[in-house]
A and B are shown apart, each in its own frame.
Chain A
Amino acid sequence: MINKGFYLGLGISFLLTGCDLIEYHPYDVRIDGETGINVKNIERIENACEGKDTIRFAFMGDSQRWYDETSDFVKHVNSQDSIDFVIHGGDISDFGITKEFLWIRDIMSGLHVPYVALIGNHDILGNGKEVFERVYGDENFSFVAGDTKFVCMNTNALEYDYSHPVPDFNFIAEEMTDTMAFSRTVAVMHVKPFDDQFNNNVAPLFHAEIKKYPSLQFALHAHNHRLQVTDAFNDGFLYYGCASMKERNYMVFTLTPEGYSYEVVYF
């Protein structure tokens, strides 16, 4: 009896470990574990920041194939005090493969604070977009932390044709209708205007539209894998670009009633 039980247990455990090894296709969009992360975490961020007049958040992006570095990033943020949330600026994956999203999801789930992720051009490859939508949610979304609204937009226009609006001006307009709920705005995107992926035909129009938001503070982007501060339209409005995880640094922004400041943190 003992022997039978032992062998049965051995067999079952072999099958269970075997299950991890079963993959139908790198692009199969077969997803185990947590989904709908942005919606859940937005609720956490909005609840935690409600009524706060000072907001601190970390901004990073382009985790792509730098899993070790992203793991270290998570440890580093966890060791920091007073960060309210994290924004991943997109390019979660490198090849748009289903498992890549899940690896980064599992690493980022180690964060003690909630995070949201934007879609990057690499995340659209193959059927990566469908993985992103399942694991994180809509390509365009927003949330309010304290008195500040973060408008997060898909700007990876090169990955689409004209049947899909990127950037989506309807979304940008809709996000202006509930101005009672916030007094300041931050625009977040993976690709900034005038970069290779952006629909540069509408770059000035896009800039003019987002500047209509109440007290737009600055814009955030990833994609170029290096730290950048750009006055893209020579009007004094700044686009801040974070480096890739490979560079082992991230940005921390502090929004206070008087204004904002930022620092670059190396890990």
Chain B
Amino acid sequence: MKWSTFKRILLCLLLLSVTYSLVAKETYSPGVEKYHTLWNKLIPRYGKIQYAGSMGFLSAGTGWAYGTNDQWETDLLIGIIPRYSSKRAKATLTLKQNFMPWKIKLNDQFNIEPLACGLYLNTVLDNEFWVKEPEKYPSGYYGFSTKLRTNIFAGQRVSYRYDRNDLNKKITLFYELSTSDLYFISGATNKYIHPRDVLSLSFGVKLQLF
């Protein structure tokens, strides 16, 4: 990541936290309460770490749960691809949309989500990759983006409430199988390519603190 981008992100976070602390000090009024609810919704309440899944060796980030039963989740993850045989290690960014249609309560502390599915966009932060073909190419020369991958996934989750006094506090383990746009095209048009060649398995943990 470029230093200037990093500084910009840092500045945004600083401004956000200052605004929030100012708002939090205000005395009660209906307008302020509205603000409070809005800000409350914007505060991320969980952290997530995911291993593999074609988005990096390890990705970590946060996100927001919403919906009547918190069946929707939107994550923002930053990942790392180690160097291996390439010139340098690379960072990635992932925007992930999760949908968990069912929640099955096993007991007071455990519940499982038999299906967690959705899609994620992943981008490599490296100047050798492009979203749109550089102008030097005749238009539509390659017709795809090296920088941006669209992945679909399906998996399962199990959650454990580690604090009986606070129902929000929980730790969730999950696994997922995913594939991306380019793999899908390759697999769909060749008998040689088996599903196992284009499926990517990943594991993760989500920690909800409040």
Where the two chains meet, the residues of A that have a C-beta atom closer than 8 Å to any C-beta of B are 17-18, 20-31, 65-68, 71, 94-97, 99-100, 103, 107, 122, 125-127, 130-131, 133-134, 158, 196
Check A22 against B201 for contact (C-beta < 8 Å). Answer: yes
Q: Which residues of A contact B70 (CB under 8 A)?
A: none
List the 4 shortest-distance A-B pairs measured between CB atoms, nearest first. A21-B201, A67-B192, A29-B86, A126-B146
At the interface, yes or no: B2 with Cβ under 8 Å from chain A? no
Write the chain A residue with the least CB distance to B198. Answer: A99
Write the chain A residue with the least CB distance to B79. Answer: A25
Check B55 against A25 for contact (C-beta < 8 Å). Answer: yes
Check A27 against B196 for contact (C-beta < 8 Å). Answer: no
- Decide yes or no: A25 and B177 within 8 Å by CB, A18-B201, A107-B192, A134-B85 being known contacts: no
**Could you say which of A24, A27, A66 has the most chain B C-beta atoms within 10 Å of its C-beta?**
A24
Contact indicator per residue, chain B 189-207, by CB within 8 Å of chain A (1) or not (0) = 1111100110111100000
Check B190 against A94 for contact (C-beta < 8 Å). Answer: no
- Decide yes or no: A25 and B92 within 8 Å by CB, A20-B196, A94-B186, A100-B186 being known contacts: yes
At the interface, yes or no: B185 with Cβ under 8 Å from chain A? yes
16 other A-B residue contacts (CB within 8 Å) besides A25-B79, A29-B84: A21-B177, A24-B52, A24-B56, A24-B81, A26-B182, A26-B183, A27-B129, A28-B82, A31-B84, A65-B185, A65-B186, A67-B186, A94-B186, A95-B182, A103-B193, A127-B87
Main secondary structure of the interface of A (DSSP, over half): loop
Check B81 against A27 for contact (C-beta < 8 Å). Answer: yes
Contact indicator per residue, chain B 62-104, by CB within 8 Å of chain A (1) or not (0) = 0000000000000000010110111100101000000000000
Where the two chains meet, the residues of B that have a C-beta atom closer than 8 Å to any C-beta of A are 52-57, 79, 81-82, 84-87, 90, 92, 122, 124, 126, 128-129, 136-138, 141-142, 144, 146, 149, 177, 180, 182-183, 185-186, 189-193, 196-197, 199-202
A21 vs B198: C-alpha distance when bound (angstroms): 8
Check B54 against A158 for contact (C-beta < 8 Å). Answer: no
Check A24 against B85 for contact (C-beta < 8 Å). Answer: no
A25 vs B52: C-alpha distance when bound (angstroms): 8
Check A68 against B81 for contact (C-beta < 8 Å). Answer: no
Q: Which residues of B contact A28 (CB under 8 A)?
A: 57, 81-82, 84, 86
A158 vs B141: C-alpha distance when bound (angstroms): 11
Check B192 against A27 for contact (C-beta < 8 Å). Answer: no
